[in-house]
């Protein structure tokens, strides 16, 4: 579920979100911390498509933090030298500089399987070491089933004396190589080896959601549940040995008390959804496990109360009105894949004409191939130069 954002279009919130009973986990803090309601209302959510957009927003938010503020992050893979933009600032610099300013920096990175198995144990440990040297604390967390992983990717930024700056990011983009791609999909200059078929700089298409409002409290509570788990973060003999050899942080220090949830800031309802595998020793916050995989995941489902007045005003047989957030996200993705400029989407608002535009676009490559084959066959009988049109994809 990590890396996927649920765009939900319906009137009644409880028609779409899981109720406390439907979660089936009476141990989750996400429900009882808010009096039994399994979601929060009054949030402002925005979609950050591509790593370039996310890294820029994350950098701006972290650089505003001061001494006494709180920065919490989880990651599957973290490359300390991954650059956040066109300059030289790296992930390790961003987190380390925050810690040196007096920001309370706490992280949970998956320990990772061995590098010899084509994983990234050394990268995650180096990131943890760099942050620790700067005054932060990062735990390499292997509290998963054998051959499983922690796949949650989110960042929570809290500001005790400036709560208006509180923000959380969650979704599918790691703090690592290959993720800093944009709508052109030329790839991140800092790459991960993914096979020759993907080229020298593989494209990476993913997104994050930026949340402001009470839902930040639920995302932070998810971090705290893992951080406060009394089980050793290195529960198996191999990870325990590695932790001893590398002097890893094995006993997380207590976090400051959780601040009250931020005040409402928008019209979005947000439900935080997590999966955890059934394992031994059990998670105290999910002893039965809630997962169809070996991994722990996190995503947010979002319901927008802001109606979108463009035609058609309804998209469903029950005449439920179209909502602003999902429609804007859909149009942004459609423009990208159709090579449209910003605002060139009047014919894409109606799903029927949207599908027609995609069908027309898909037909063009076939026609182009037929044309090129004809021209290529002509070359065998003439020396006429072939006109060449470079294409982006």
Q: What is the dihedral of CA 224, 142, 285, 176, to 10 degrees?
A: 50
Q: What is the mean pLDDT of residues 340-355?
A: 94
Token code pair at residue 241: 């040995």
* Cα(52)–Cα(187) distance, integer angstroms: 10
Tokens 């994809």, located at residue = 393
Q: Answer whether 207's CB lies under 8 Å from 5's CB.
A: yes
DSSP state, residue 104: E
Q: Answer whether 209's CB lies under 8 Å from 47's CB.
A: yes
Q: What is the mean pLDDT of residues 182-204?
A: 91
Going by their DSSP bridges, the two strands 207-212 and 137-141 should be labelled as: unpaired
Tell which residue, 169, 56, 75, 54, has the closest CA to residue 120.
75
Going by their DSSP bridges, the two strands 104-110 and 70-75 should be labelled as: parallel
Q: What pLDDT does residue 250 have?
A: 77
* Cα(180)–Cα(186) distance, integer angstroms: 10
> What's the pTM?
0.88
Ordered strands of the 70-75 beta sheet: 6-8, 297-304, 268-275, 40-49, 207-212, 167-171, 154-158, 70-75, 104-110, 137-141
What Rg do the C-alpha atoms of the chain give, in angstroms?
Answer: 23
Q: Answer whether 127's CB lies under 8 Å from 109's CB.
A: yes
Q: What is the mean pLDDT of residues 331-348?
A: 94
Q: Answer whether 284's CB lies under 8 Å from 26's CB.
A: no
pLDDT band per the 50, 70, 90 thresholds, residue 237: confident
Tell which residue, 111, 110, 145, has the closest CA to residue 277.
145
Identify which of 51-60, 108-117, 236-245, 360-369 has the greatest average pLDDT.
51-60
pLDDT band per the 50, 70, 90 thresholds, residue 47: very high
Phi/psi class of residue 349: alpha, beta or left (left: φ > 0; alpha: ψ in -120 to 50)? alpha
Q: Answer whether 148's CB lies under 8 Å from 117's CB.
A: no
**Intra-chain end-to-end CA distance of the chain, in Å:** 28
Q: Answer whether 302's CB lies under 8 Å from 268's CB.
A: yes
Q: Answer whether 96's CB lies under 8 Å from 86's CB.
A: no
pLDDT band per the 50, 70, 90 thresholds, residue 16: confident
pLDDT band per the 50, 70, 90 thresholds, residue 371: low
Dihedral of CA 15/21/27/29: which sign?
Answer: positive
Q: What pLDDT does residue 145 have?
A: 83
Is pLDDT of 297 > 70? Answer: yes
Q: At what angle do helices 121-133 and 91-100 cross, to 10 degrees?
A: 30
Q: What is the mean pLDDT of residues 26-51?
A: 91
Token code pair at residue 217: 């409290």
């Amino acid at each position: 579920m990590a890396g996927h954002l649920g765009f939900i279009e319906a009137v009644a919130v409880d028609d779409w979100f899981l109720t406390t009973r439907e979660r089936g986990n009476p141990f989750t803090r996400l429900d009882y911390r808010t009096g039994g309601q399994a979601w929060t209302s009054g949030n402002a959510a925005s979609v950050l498509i591509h790593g370039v957009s996310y890294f820029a927003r994350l950098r701006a938010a972290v650089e505003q933090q001061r001494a006494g503020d709180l920065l919490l992050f989880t990651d599957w893979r973290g490359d300390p030298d991954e650059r956040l933009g066109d300059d030289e600032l790296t992930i390790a610099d961003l987190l380390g500089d925050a810690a040196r300013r007096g920001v309370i920096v706490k992280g949970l990175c998956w320990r990772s399987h061995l590098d010899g198995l084509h994983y990234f144990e050394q990268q995650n440990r180096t990131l943890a070491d760099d942050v620790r040297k700067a005054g932060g604390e990062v735990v390499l967390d292997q509290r998963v089933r054998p051959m499983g992983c922690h796949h949650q990717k989110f960042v929570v930024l809290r500001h005790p004396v400036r709560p208006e700056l509180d923000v959380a990011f969650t979704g599918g983009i790691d703090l690592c190589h290959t993720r800093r791609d944009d709508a052109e999909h030329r790839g991140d200059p800092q790459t991960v080896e993914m096979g020759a078929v993907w080229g020298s700089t593989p494209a990476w298409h993913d997104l994050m959601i930026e949340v402001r409002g009470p839902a930040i409290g639920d995302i932070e509570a998810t971090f705290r549940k893992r951080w406060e788990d009394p089980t050793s973060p290195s529960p198996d003999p191999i990870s325990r040995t590695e932790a001893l050899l590398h002097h890893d942080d094995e006993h997380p220090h207590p976090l400051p008390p959780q601040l009250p949830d931020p005040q409402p800031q928008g019209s979005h309802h947000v439900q935080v959804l997590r999966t955890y595998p059934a394992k031994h020793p059990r998670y105290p916050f999910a002893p039965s496990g809630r997962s169809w995989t070996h991994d722990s995941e996190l995503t947010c489902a979002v319901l927008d109360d802001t109606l979108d007045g463009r035609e058609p005003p309804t998209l469903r047989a029950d005449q439920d009105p179209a909502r602003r957030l999902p429609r804007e996200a859909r149009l942004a993705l459609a423009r990208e894949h159709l090579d449209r400029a910003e605002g060139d989407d009047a014919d894409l608002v109606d799903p029927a004409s949207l599908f027609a535009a995609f069908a027309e676009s898909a037909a063009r490559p076939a026609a182009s191939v037929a044309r090129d084959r004809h021209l290529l066959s002509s070359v065998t009988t003439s020396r006429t130069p072939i006109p060449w049109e470079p294409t982006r994809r």
